């Protein structure tokens, strides 16, 4: 169990959407006394987020909810980009098998049931209390904790205290406003209409079989293939068009007439948005942290919005656990902003660049764009992967010895076990790990094993064939990863990011000593 404190809760999570629910689950899994509150009593019944990736699904699998989620998740097919004249100019796809984390690298999902499952799982955690229909009215903090004034939807008010607060209360975050934290504007502001449909058989036969970006100056449009019959169109609005008026069914069907008629589908949702690129100026104010849309907003062009929020809480939760257990000082929590803000800014910049390609409204500039993109592929449409668009961590709690592997996600192979093929995390567990190539002398070093044990690192020895005291991987994913990076050992953080790598015992011992000093 987590270390006790004088406050009623160790963490209060404000906002119980996907990021807040995952935060409560992560904290609850480690026995952290957590209160999650949300002013709404039920999950919003329309889809908003539609995409997630293998990093996020790995975290959800670690929580034990993956199998419950699978009925509402499907692979994200390739996205074909068509130029101003309707010609294919490039494709964005997923990396090929064997998949680096063991799962389909990119997926689509139906948000309402997925969100409900995440909420249910959080409620089942013994150390988590969930209070819906409860709104945060005010909060204040001292050096010892945070006091929150809560109001129920029946009008009753009460105060609770906590060691820390995570604000997952959305783009209009009341916590962020109370703290007076502004946004850095990364300069993207475009009006779009998002349309979700449940399409029948006749309609499905008319639609593209892959996702698509129609990069046409007259009306840039994105098309996304959701699970089952769910399809989404994101349609750029033109100057002078009233966003609210464009949500009306007659206007929606006019915009969709190129692909569908009202007989082909049921209109599920039509909502106009301004796609922004905003990042909070600061993510931490004393004992209060911003996460998810409260901390950042980005255009949706590669489906990373919800993923970003879940990365936030996954980054923060294990650090809060270490601090609350007395294993690290409060200074560890400063690495949250160092890591996540830089990562969000870098990824948002890449998403913006894709967005500017899609949103080009000038016909001459669009023609030049198409020629440039085709030239980059040697005259034919090239394929890039969504995974190469998402950057590694570049700052924060990473080994001081620079290496290209630092800050990347450590792979997860399928292992051969007596019970059949199983993924690494389910066999060997998570948390801090030292992963070693079984055929390297470091894997047999008692000194290295003892040093890792003092730090609480789980030691995992991986072989591509049979080896004593080692797990055997099926497809050579980790073996090839070690070869690619010229190393035979990796220190892996609880959020699956690589702290550092080594190719000999001396450098590994030094890295372990440095990690011990930095954590304590």
CATH number reported for the structural domain that contains residue 514 in this entry:
3.40.30.120
Q: 57 and 146 share a domain? A: yes
What's the CA gap between 161 and 144, in Å, rounded?
A: 10
Q: Who's near 155: CB < 8 A, 6+ residues apart?
A: none
Q: Would you state the structure tokens that stand for residue 476, as one six-digit string?
A: 């050579």
Instruction: Specify the pLDDT at position 106.
Output: 96
Lookup: tokens for 248: 């009306």
- 398 in a domain, yes or no? no
Domain end marker among 326, 356, 386: 356
In a domain, 326, yes or no: yes
Rounded to whole angstroms, the Cα distance separating 198 from 224 reads 12
pLDDT confidence tier of residue 2, bands split at 50, 70 and 90: low
Last residue of a domain, one of 337, 356, 375: 356
The answer as to whether 403 is a domain residue is no
Does 172 lie in the same domain as 23?
yes
At residue 463's C-alpha, the angle toward residues 458 and 464, to 5°, is 145
Whether the pLDDT of residue 5 is over 80: the answer is no
**One domain, residues 144 and 47:** yes
Alpha helices in 359-417 (DSSP H): 363-376, 386-389
Cβ pair 212, 86 in contact under 8 A: no
Instruction: Judge if 167 and 306 occupy the same domain.
Output: yes
The token pair that represents 339 in the structure block? 């890591």
Residue 208 in domain: no
Element (H, E) at 462: strand 458-463
Q: What is the pTM of this model?
A: 0.96
CATH number, domain containing residue 125: 3.50.50.60
Same domain, 14 and 121: yes
- Residue 278 tokens read as 């905003």
Instruction: Tell me the backbone φ, ψ of residue 234, rounded to 5 degrees.
Output: -115, 115
pLDDT tens-digit series, residues 231-285: 999 999 999 999 999 999 999 999 999 999 999 999 999 999 988 899 999 999 9
One domain for residues 130 and 42: yes
Say whether both 351 and 496 belong to one domain: no
- Whether 100 maps to a domain, the answer reads no
What is the per-residue pLDDT for 101? 97
For the record, the structure tokens of 465 come out as 């064939």
Is pLDDT of 370 > 70?
yes
Residue 244 placed within a domain: no
Domain membership of residue 197 (yes or no) is no
Which residues, listed in sequence order, are joined to residue 191 by a DSSP beta bridge? 274
Q: Please tell me the predicted confidence (pLDDT) of residue 254.
A: 98
Residues 151 and 296 in one domain: yes
CA–CA distance, 206 with 201 (Å, rounded to integer): 9
C-alpha to C-alpha distance for 477 and 30, rounded to whole angstroms: 29
Q: Where does a domain end: 356, 372, 388?
A: 356
CB of 272 closer than 8 Å to CB of 244: yes
Radius of gyration of the chain (CA): 24
Q: Is position 351 within any domain?
A: yes
Together in a domain, 23 and 151: yes
Mean of pLDDT values over 75-86: 96
Q: How many domains does the chain have?
A: 2
d(Cα 134, Cα 234) in Å, to the nearest integer? Answer: 33
Give yes or no for residue 460 having a pLDDT over 90: yes
Domain range holding 312?
Answer: 9-73+108-183+279-356
At 3 the pLDDT is 60
> 93, 109, 14, 100: which is closest to 60 by C-alpha?
109
């Amino acid at each position: 169990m987590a270390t006790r404190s004088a406050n009623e809760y160790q963490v209060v999570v404000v906002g119980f959407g996907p990021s807040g629910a995952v935060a409560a689950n992560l904290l609850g899994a480690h026995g952290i006394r957590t209160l999650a509150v949300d002013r709404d009593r039920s999950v919003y019944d329309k889809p908003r987020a539609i995409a997630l990736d293998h990093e996020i699904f790995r975290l959800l699998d670690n929580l034990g909810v993956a199998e419950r989620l699978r009925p509402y998740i499907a692979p994200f097919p390739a996205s074909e980009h068509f130029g101003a004249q309707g010609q294919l100019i490039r494709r964005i796809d997923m990396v090929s098998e064997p998949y680096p984390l063991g799962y389909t690298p990119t997926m689509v999902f139906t948000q309402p049931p997925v969100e409900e499952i995440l909420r249910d799982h959080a409620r089942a955690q013994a150390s988590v209390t969930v209070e819906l229909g409860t709104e945060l009215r005010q909060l204040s903090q001292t050096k010892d904790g945070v006091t929150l004034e809560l109001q129920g939807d029946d009008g009753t008010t009460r105060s609770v205290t906590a060691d820390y607060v995570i604000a997952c209360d959305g783009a209009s975050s009341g916590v962020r406003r109370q703290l007076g934290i502004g946004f850095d504007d990364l300069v993207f502001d475009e009006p779009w209409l998002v349309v979700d449909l449940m399409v029948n058989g006749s309609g499905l036969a008319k639609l593209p079989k892959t996702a698509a970006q129609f990069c046409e100056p007259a009306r840039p449009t994105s098309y996304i293939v959701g699970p089952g019959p769910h399809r989404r169109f994101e349609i750029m609005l033109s100057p002078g068009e009233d966003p609210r008026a464009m949500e009306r069914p007659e206007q929606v069907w006019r915009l969709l007439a190129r692909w569908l008629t009202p007989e082909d589908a049921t209109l599920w949702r039509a909502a106009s948005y301004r796609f922004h690129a905003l990042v909070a100026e600061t993510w931490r104010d004393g004992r209060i942290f911003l996460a998810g849309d409260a901390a950042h907003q980005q255009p949706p062009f590669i489906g990373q919005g919800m993923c970003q929020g879940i990365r936030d809480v996954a980054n923060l939760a294990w650090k809060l656990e270490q601090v609350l257990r007395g294993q690290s000082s409060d200074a560890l929590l400063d690495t949250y902003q160092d890591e996540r803000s830089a990562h969000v800014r870098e990824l948002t910049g890449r998403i913006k660049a894709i967005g500017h390609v899609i949103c080009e409204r000038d016909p001459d500039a669009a023609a030049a764009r198409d020629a440039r993109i085709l030239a980059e592929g040697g005259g034919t449409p090239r394929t890039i992967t969504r995974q190469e668009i998402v950057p590694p961590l570049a700052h924060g709690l990473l080994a001081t010895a620079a290496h290209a592997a630092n800050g990347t996600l450590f792979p997860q192979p399928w292992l051969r076990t007596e019970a059949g093929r199983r993924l690494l995390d389910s066999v060997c567990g998570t948390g801090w790990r030292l992963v070693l190539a079984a055929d390297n002398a470091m894997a047999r070093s008692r000194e290295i094993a003892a040093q890792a044990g003092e730090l609480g690192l789980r030691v995992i020895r991986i072989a591509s064939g049979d080896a004593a005291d080692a797990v055997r991987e099926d497809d050579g994913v980790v073996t090839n990863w070690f070869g690619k990076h010229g190393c035979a050992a990796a220190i892996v953080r609880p959020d699956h990011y690589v702290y550092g790598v080594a190719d000999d015992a001396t450098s590994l011992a030094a890295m372990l000593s440095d990690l011990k000093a930095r954590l304590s």
